[in-house]
Amino acid sequence: MLQRDENGVLHVVALSGGHDSSALAMELMAREPRPYTYVCTPTGDESPEMFTHWRNLGERLGSRILPIMAGTLDNLIRQQKALPNFRQRWCTRKLKIEPFIAWLIEQLKHGPVVAYVGLRADEPLRIGGVYGQLGDIETRCPLREWGWGEDEVQAKLVAVGITCPNRTDCLKCYHQRIGEWWECWAFHRPVFYEAVSLEEETGHTFRTPGRDSWPTSLKEMGERFEAGDKPNISLNRMARERMAAGSCRVCSL
């Protein structure tokens, strides 16, 4: 049984592990001390640095982060016999949204729930999960309540000495840019070639044809990387672009 407050309310903080949710969790603990349940929804395709970050956050927060999983991305791709794409983002729905909703429904059997979501005040058009239709669930966005934007989030992370990984989403994602595929090939080569195998198994590609001058096939892209071709982009610039574009923000809770 998860710990609830004196009124029987379960306080759930959804931790994607990115800048916003990490700053939210740390500031919430300082401003509104109470028992919190911290959860994440791994796909099994995150980098080792991401899992280390979740463990470190749990230690800082004094509570283990509870993973909510319904399989892995690779297994789901093989079950679907297809790769996710911009028309069919079933990976997010099946690996993150539906498992989290099912978990919340289970918690409602024991009493009311408050869900905390890391949406900033400077992104008013972004919509997070709305769970009130499930029952006695209140959704709060404390960063917006505090008027926090990107500057405040970054200042909090610096103040508490937390550095988030360069990327917090899947290493194999159709959404990513060519520089991120190079990053995957350069630093997580087995994952890159697993993506090549998945393309060959399904007969589809992670990349949309015509996006750029690089090959659509990851196998052909890997051959160019092996030959010494490299996107004209620095890792620092990739990190800035990923943050600016939100990267896989649709995948975050």
Q: In what order do the strands lie in the sheet with 37-40?
A: 66-67, 37-40, 10-14, 113-116, 137-140
Max CA distance (Å), the chain:
63
Per-residue pLDDT 10s for the chain (253 aa) are: 799 999 999 999 999 999 999 999 999 999 999 999 999 999 999 999 999 999 999 999 999 999 999 999 999 999 999 999 888 889 999 999 999 999 999 999 999 999 999 999 999 888 766 676 788 899 999 999 999 999 999 999 999 999 999 888 899 999 898 999 999 999 999 999 999 999 999 999 999 888 888 999 999 999 999 999 999 876 545 555 555 444 444 454 4
The residues, any chain, with a CB within 8 Å of residue 55's CB and separated by 6 or more, are 65
Tokens of 2: 């998860």
Q: 63: closest CA among 96, 99, 37, 43?
A: 37
Tokens of 147: 């008027």
Cα angle at 120 between 117 and 126, to 5 degrees? 80
Residue 249: the pLDDT is: 42
Residue 135: the pLDDT is: 81
Q: 115: closest CA among 6, 13, 22?
A: 13
Cα angle at 157 between 171 and 174, to 5 degrees? 15
**Looking at domain 10-167, what is its CATH homologous superfamily?**
HUPs (3.40.50.620)
Query: Where does CATH 3.40.50.620 sit in the chain?
Result: 10-167
Residue 88: the pLDDT is: 82
Residue 132: the pLDDT is: 67
Residue 167: the pLDDT is: 85
